[in-house]
Chains A and B, each alone.
Chain A
Amino acid sequence: MKFTLSWLKHHLDTDASVDLITETLTDLGLEVEGVENPAAKLADFTIGYVESAEKHPDADKLRVCQVQTRDGLTQIICGAHNARAGITVVIASPGTYVPGIDTTIGVGKIRGIESYGMMCSEREMELSDEHDGIIELPSGEVGQSFTDWLAAHQPDKVDPVIEIAITPNRPDALGVRGIARDLAARGLGTLKLVTVDPVPASFTADLNVTIADDTRDGCPVFCGRLIRGVKNGPSPAWLQTQLRAIGLRPISFLVDVTNWFTYDLNRPLHVFDADKVQGNIRVHRAKGGETIVALDDKTYTLQPGQIAISDDQGVESIAGIMGGAATGCTEDTVNVFVESAYWDPIQIAYTGRALKINSDARYRFERGIDPAFTPEGLEHAVRMIVDHAGGEASELIITGEVPDTSRAYRLDAQRVISLVGMDIPESTQRQTLTALGFHLEGDMAHVPSWRPDVQGEADLVEEVARIASLTKLQGKPMPRMQAGVPKPILTQGQQRQQAARRTMAALGYNECVTYSFVDQQAAALFGGGDDATKLENPISSELSHMRPNLLPALLRAAARNQARGFMDMALFEVGAGFHGGEPGEQHNLITGILIGKTASKEVHGTSRAVDLYDAKADAESVLAAIGAPAKVQILRGAADWWHPGRHGKICLGPKKVLAVFGELHPKVLREMDIKGPAVGFTIWPDEVPVPKSKTTTRPALVATDLQAVERDFAFVVDADVEALTLVNAAMGADKALISDVRVFDQFIGGNLGEGKKSLAVTVRLQPTTATLKDADIEAVSAKIVDKVTKATGGTLRG
């Protein structure tokens, strides 16, 4: 919403400065988005008087002028054809910035003669495009500020334009008058009385307006007057200037009047060229399919239930949103029908949204204009039209009734103080509401018809608080609900996510935060991409489906980094995957990916390609950090985006999967444009069981002084025998004595033969009662060999 200072002063009697007004508007909730103050950039220009002007000895077109200025008689070289003795001019002294030529004036020599300033044209000061010589003022004192002279003689040239943002609850502030009312309530001036002297009726219009029965809720009241014999044409200068100042293009007087009242009193109006209206006017709901070419020259097809204004030929206006081109007023219009109606905001909102029309009328009607003002608003417009364009006006045509919006809410002064936390005396509260147009009866506040947003006691609190000024609010300490040392507040899930993040970063992974939506192709590769997780209105096809898990977006990120030349990376994300489109169909995930080498080529030769055992180690570290048990099973059979032979599920039983690690399927990687293999893992942190014991006490440390003994064994087994089977078998040989079994070598093929491998383990024996003797070691070794042989079908390697 834009308006000028002089327009505001049409409604508000005030001496307040622009700065104070804008500051106050923002504080009142009418946030100032911008102020264009033409005076600001002209502040340094002053008035001078040319005493003499002689031809420059070395240039035909230049004149050496002696000018009376603020600083005394000053020499200025000027090239303008009208530079001559005896004229009053505008001076930019050295140091003054001239906006039109984007230059700060300095002292200079022009063709060998010094010049101490510049005499300016209107264009140089960005006042207009006028550049036919320098300005010659009809009056003005030497040394006087040019902006002061403009304010006194051409105020519209220095009229500040203020733009404010209007929150949806304040339709009343979509008119300059509403803004003035707020400022007056704050004490920044007095609201001027605006009345209208209705044009007496000279005839009864031969025009019938009906509202269909099923349309009364959408159009409770429709008013109009026919004016015969007007002379349309350009608007008077003041009206054109005001409209231009707020960015509207003057069209013709009749149209400009409707636009002006839209902004002045928040009263949208429509003017029909009465000669183009055939027969009677009908307000009704569309059957659907009717078309209309609107004033924006676009054709709209109405949907069933939308409200139209029709004559005998068909639809002539989209009610409350935009008029039709066919019956629009032109320069030639002589008979005009002026419409002022009240349209239901919800009706307008839905129709406007459906037809995708953004007009000043829709914007106002959908927020809610003052229904009670419908007939009076019309009288304002008719008065202005007849006063300027002549003609005679018909009797008022009024169909329907102004809807009764009267209501009252209790002003509880104590409650206001309690909610706001500011000591606002009851008398001040009452005064505020009165100034805003509320009518108080006892403690009941009757709401003015222009405030549809006020729907309860809480709204009264808001009005009192904002007029009192929230800027003045002083903070008041809010003690904790319980005194003392605060208790921990994170849930276990939150703690796990935090621990996982910190662990991943410590392991050298860079945390990413990727969009929760990915493209359908990527989602489908990872088990998603169905309609349940589809967005109805994505901003692009790249972001069309909720991600089933974190891998697709992380791999896309990896591909982008590869394209930038970074081939080695460790990325992770902690966040939600979506397994459906219902609230709650999301699950927390921790995913890491490793691509390329452990490091770039380097002097110590440690750099090597990452493999699934890196991913496994990191998955185990994170699981340990979030409190997963150490004893787990490793199973196969994870989803098909993993390499079928190179992945494992970390499980507690076949149905309790805590994590998956492995190599990504090469086909999936190709589809995702990843160069080279990639490994990774996904953890489901909420699957990790809650530890049963809540005690902080740890079991006592058992550390015997007896010497532990380590023995190595190598077994030849079939190549598909898993190491964990062998380790578990060895562990089971003597649970009391064997404290650890570690695989330390794997050898495949060679002289072992096809399909065979050797696995070597170190078994650590930790006695607890007596030192081990050779016989004890022999005995347990035999048991180990026996158990492993039975479990794996392998043999002890000779």
Chain B
Amino acid sequence: MDDLKAKYLSLIAAAGDEAQIEDLRIAALGKKGEISAAMRELGKMTPEERQTAGPALNALKDEINSALAAKKAALGDAALDARLRGEWLDVTLPSRPRRQGTIHPISQVTEEVTAIFADMGFAVAEGPQIDTDWYNFDALNIPGHHPARAEMDTFYMHRAQGDNRPPHVLRTHTSPVQIRHMEKFGAPCRIIAPGRVYRADYDQTHTPMFNQVEGLAIDKDISMANLKWVLEEFFAAFFEVDGIKTRFRASHFPFTEPSAEVDIQCSWVDGQLKIGEGDGWLEVLGSGMVHPHVLQSAGVDPAQWQGFAFGMGIDRIAMLKYGIPDLRAFFDSDLRWLRHYGFASLDVPTLHGGLSR
């Protein structure tokens, strides 16, 4: 019986494929197999002989069965290994192409600005881009002869013959939205109004269309000191620099009184502008306390209500934050520019997740 065991174990070990294994199984354990034959011999034995030979034969049968199974599995593994070796692919080939879309910096920055001001309780208001000269100028305390009107490089809409109304204008600033909003909703209010504005100017730093965001907060006791706090909070959040310093400088806008231009702290090192450090100043916006005439124009009683307004260039702060050199390229739709300065679809700016990555 030991001979039988040794014989089959060595044959199994030597088997080269699954067919040989099957042949061996039949030869050993098949109906006419050697071990099956030996099992049949048990009937002819004495009970004593059977007592020893029976279990031994069963053990042999089990052992051969496991050897067969183990060899079969090993051969299967070897065959799979051999197949997989043949299935080599050049993984350095490029992946399947997928277009990468982008969000324009103006949209991205508008969302950033909105996120910050929304947290401070400002809603987003909108207004028409073609507006009457009353909303764009008169209501904002800029009468027809005012030098500021000539300085604004206003685009005028064509007037049909016989239509003697003053020509409409492409809004030169987002400030008319102040008037329209207060007319409709009155005071108190807190809004920002981002959007396109237009001035007839084109050179290295001016485009005939650009983007502004207006801010307006009207209540019983809002002061210029509140304005300063709001802007400081905004700049720290927007530029992601804690404790960024701002400087208010007296200035003049017809629609605010007192008026201030606002500078933020910056440094120039090796031609590189850095916001929020150093002892240089960079002008970023105009602001002030809303002029009583403007409140009156919008139907809000200046004896009861007061507040601030500001206007800031979205393109400009986008350029500052993201180091974009040329304003004109914003509107050129050069794919290389869009891909380089654009933002991924899921880069949604939030205050809890961070405005930028």
Contacts and interface: CB of A to CB of B under 8 A. Distances in A.
A602 B97 contact: yes
Contact of A508 (B100, B107, B217, B254): B100
A486 B231 CA distance: 19
Given A511-B107, A586-B128, A606 B97 contact: yes
Contacts of B224: 419-422, 465, 470, 473
Nearest to A488: B118
Interface stretch (B36-44, B129-137, B264-272): B129-137
Contacts, number: 281
15 contacts: A167-B251, A349-B150, A470-B249, A475-B228, A476-B228, A481-B188, A481-B190, A502-B348, A505-B344, A513-B330, A514-B331, A515-B208, A536-B157, A540-B202, A600-B97
B251 A546 contact: no
B297 interface: no
Nearest to B190: A481
Given A470-B250, A510-B339, A535 B170 contact: yes
A583 B129 CA distance: 7
A31 interface: yes
A101 interface: no
B257 A459 contact: yes
Nearest to B110: A498
Contact of A604 (B96, B120, B159, B211): B96
B94 A420 contact: no
A190 B338 CA distance: 57
Interface string B146-175: 111011000111111000000110100000
A737 interface: no
Nearest to B176: A583
A466 B250 contact: yes
Interface residues of A, number: 104
A459 B257 CA distance: 7
A525 interface: no
B67 interface: no
Listed from nearest, the 3 A-B pairs whose CB atoms lie closest are: A421-B225, A508-B99, A421-B223
Nearest to A458: B257
A535 B259 contact: no
Contacts of A367: 147
A599 B99 CA distance: 7
A28 B261 CA distance: 11
A560 B158 contact: no
B322 to A, nearest CB: 15
A673 B61 CA distance: 85
B298 to A, nearest CB: 15
B145 A345 contact: yes
Contacts of A458: 257, 289, 291-292
B185 to A, nearest CB: 13
Interface stretch (A331-339, A443-451, A489-497): A489-497
B345 interface: yes
Interface in B319-343: 330-336, 338-339, 342-343
B260 A470 contact: yes
A586 B129 contact: yes
A475 B229 contact: yes
Interface residues of B, number: 100
Contact of B225 (A422, A482, A603): A422
Interface string A561-582: 1001010011100111010011
A170 interface: yes
Nearest to B262: A470
Interface in B207-241: 207-209, 211, 217, 219, 221-226, 228-232
A393 B223 CA distance: 56
A536 B167 contact: yes
Nearest to B259: A462
Contacts of A585: 128, 130
A505 B231 CA distance: 31
Nearest to B161: A531
A420 B208 contact: no
A566 B97 contact: no
B223 A536 contact: no
A536 B306 CA distance: 37
A586 B130 contact: yes
Nearest to A504: B101
Contacts of A482: 121
B258 interface: yes
Contacts of A427: none
B114 interface: yes
A704 interface: no
Contacts of B34: none
A531 B107 CA distance: 31
Interface in B261-312: 261, 289, 291-293, 306
Given A419-B289, A486-B119, A515-B331, A537 B97 contact: no
A514 B96 contact: no
B292 to A, nearest CB: 5
Contacts of B114: 489-490
Nearest to A536: B156
A695 interface: no
A605 to B, nearest CB: 10
Contact of A560 (B130, B150, B333, B339): B333
Given A421-B224, A489-B118, A534-B157, 7 more contacts: A465-B258, A476-B225, A478-B230, A493-B126, A516-B170, A560-B333, A581-B168
A366 interface: yes
A474 interface: yes
B101 A512 contact: no
Contacts of B111: 498
Contacts of A26: 249
Nearest to B225: A421
Contacts of B50: none
B122 interface: yes
Contact of B252 (A168, A571, A586): A168
A212 interface: no
A461 interface: yes
Contact of B101 (A422, A477, A488, A505): A505
A470 B248 contact: yes
A502 B223 CA distance: 38
B68 to A, nearest CB: 40
B124 interface: yes
Nearest to B151: A168
Contact of B155 (A462, A488, A514, A538): A538
A510 B135 contact: no
Given A586-B130, A603-B93, A353 B150 contact: yes
B31 interface: no
A136 interface: no
A466 B288 CA distance: 12
Nearest to A538: B155
B217 A478 contact: yes
B311 to A, nearest CB: 15
Interface string B186-220: 00101000001010111000011101000001010
A386 B229 CA distance: 58
B104 interface: yes
B25 interface: no
A123 B170 CA distance: 52
B9 interface: no
Given A168-B252, A489-B122, A532-B158, A569 B335 contact: yes
A486 B306 contact: no
Interface in A509-565: 509-517, 531-540, 543, 546, 554, 557, 560-561, 564
B124 A502 contact: no
B140 to A, nearest CB: 14
A382 B291 CA distance: 42
Contacts of A535: 155-158, 170
Contacts of A631: none
A576 to B, nearest CB: 6
Nearest to B167: A536
B225 A480 contact: no
Contacts of B157: 533-536, 581
B269 to A, nearest CB: 21
B98 interface: yes
